[in-house]
Amino acid sequence: MAAPKRTTPGVFVVLAVLGIAFVTLPLAGLIQRTPWSRAADVLTSDSSLTALRLSIVVATSAAVVSLVLGFPLAWVLSRSSFPGRRVVRGLVILPLVMPPVVGGVALLAVFGRRGFLGAPLNNVFGVQLTFTTPAAVLAAAFVSFPLAVLALEAGLRSLDTRLEDAAATLGGSRWYVLRRVTLPMLAPQIAAGLVLCWARALGEFGATITFAGNLQGRTQTLPLAVFERLQTDPDGAIALSLLLVAVSLAVIVGLRGRFLAAR
């Protein structure tokens, strides 16, 4: 049934334009203030390149960790019923709504030098997590994990489980069916989850700086580098910001047709 054509109230048109301006004006300001003559120098400087490289490593690792840990959980949430399942799902998405800095404090409480996991790690194995790249990965994975679980759970729910039954009658063991039927059919959701987690991890600031600190080459990712430069070199910070905008735009282009498709 085709929706009847409705006239749009004039006031909505005005507010809609305001909404567009709300999003685009800051971007325009960023571009307008960009010191183009210095941009190349800033972006190719050692500290920037180090931060960019670290950001890519951290975001990619965090996305992979989220997906690998998220898949079994999404499976359990979508395919089994147990008491408290709703509570578990609520807990899982908590990092998504929680202030990241609180996440960082929480991670510190667990994995910090005196945390209840951090202390034995340090005493028994001599491993200290805080202020290392793995800590930055952990912080980024913590905040992106819910996105992986949500994307995979939705995918698993929409999958026709009778295809897996059919595969079993054709002689496929559980692992074979998982590898040849379930995972390939989930490919779009896995890709979407990967991109969403990667984008979320790339932008992570609060949990990272709280839990992993701001050490150049070890934990200083691009957002942290932008923040640091802002104190001393605002123009350089703008150039770095533009780089992050470019990466974000690339993500949107990559996701085009998946989540942004008009209904």
Partner 1 sequence: MSLVVDVEARLGHFTVAAAFEAAAGETVALLGPNGAGKSTLVATLAGIHRPSSGRVDLDGRTLDDVVTGRHVPPERREVGVVFQDRLLFPHLSAMENVAFPLRALGVARREARSRAADLLARLGLAQRADARPADLSGGEAQRVALARALIREPRLLLLDEPLAALDVRARTHVRALVRRELIGFAGVRLLVTHDPVEAMNLADRMVLVEDGRVTQIGTPGEVRAAPRTPYAAELVGMNLFTGRLERLEAGAGRLVTSEGDVVVAWPPGIDGALESVIGLLRPADVSLHVRPPEGASARNVLAGTVTSVSVEGERARVRIDASPPLVAEVTLGSVERLGIREGTRLWASFKAVEVRVQAI
Residue 187 CB, nearest distance to partner 1 (Å)? 8
Which residue's CB is nearer to partner 1, number 64 or number 159? 159
Residue 181 CB, nearest distance to partner 1 (Å)? 6
Choice from 58, 92, 152, 167 touching partner 1 (CB under 8 A): 167
CA dihedral 231, 235, 239, 245 (to 10 degrees): 70
Which residue's CB is nearer to partner 1, number 5 or number 162? 162
Residue 134 CB, nearest distance to partner 1 (Å)? 36
Any contact of residue 163 with partner 1 (CB under 8 A)?
Answer: yes
Which tokens sit at 263?
Answer: 């209904």
Which residue's CB is nearer to partner 1, number 168 or number 245? 168
Measure the CA–CA gap between 64 and 75, rounded to whole angstroms.
17
Which residue's CB is nearer to partner 1, number 176 or number 259? 176
Is the C-alpha dihedral spanning 140, 143, 144, 145 positive or negative?
Answer: positive
Which residue's CB is nearer to partner 1, number 143 or number 181? 181
Site string for partner 1, 18-37 (x = CB under 8 A): --------------------
Site string for partner 1, 119-158 (x = CB under 8 A): ----------------------------------------
Any contact of residue 252 with partner 1 (CB under 8 A)?
Answer: no
Residue 78 CB, nearest distance to partner 1 (Å)? 19
Any contact of residue 165 with partner 1 (CB under 8 A)?
Answer: yes
**CB atoms < 10 A from the CB of 133, how many?**
17
Is the C-alpha dihedral spanning 148, 154, 160, 165 positive or negative?
Answer: positive
109 burial via Cβ count (<10 Å: 0-12, 13-18, 19+): middle
Which residue's CB is nearer to partner 1, number 146 or number 155? 155
Choice from 121, 168, 191, 251 touching partner 1 (CB under 8 A): 168
CA dihedral 87, 92, 93, 95 (to 10 degrees): 130
Which residue's CB is nearer to partner 1, number 17 or number 163? 163
Buried b (16+ CB within 10 A) or exposed e, 200-219: bbbbbbbbbbbbbbbeeebb
Measure the CA–CA gap between 139 and 135, rounded to whole angstroms.
6
Residues 170-209 that bind partner 1 (CB under 8 A): 170-173, 176, 180-181, 184-185, 187
Measure the CA–CA gap between 26 and 21, rounded to whole angstroms.
8
Which residue's CB is nearer to partner 1, number 96 or number 185? 185
Q: Where are the alpha helices (DSSP H) in the chain?
A: 10-33, 36-44, 46-79, 85-92, 94-97, 100-111, 118-120, 133-158, 161-169, 174-177, 183-185, 187-202, 206-211, 222-232, 234-255
Residue ranges that bind partner 1, judged by CB under 8 A: 160, 162-163, 165-173, 176, 180-181, 184-185, 187
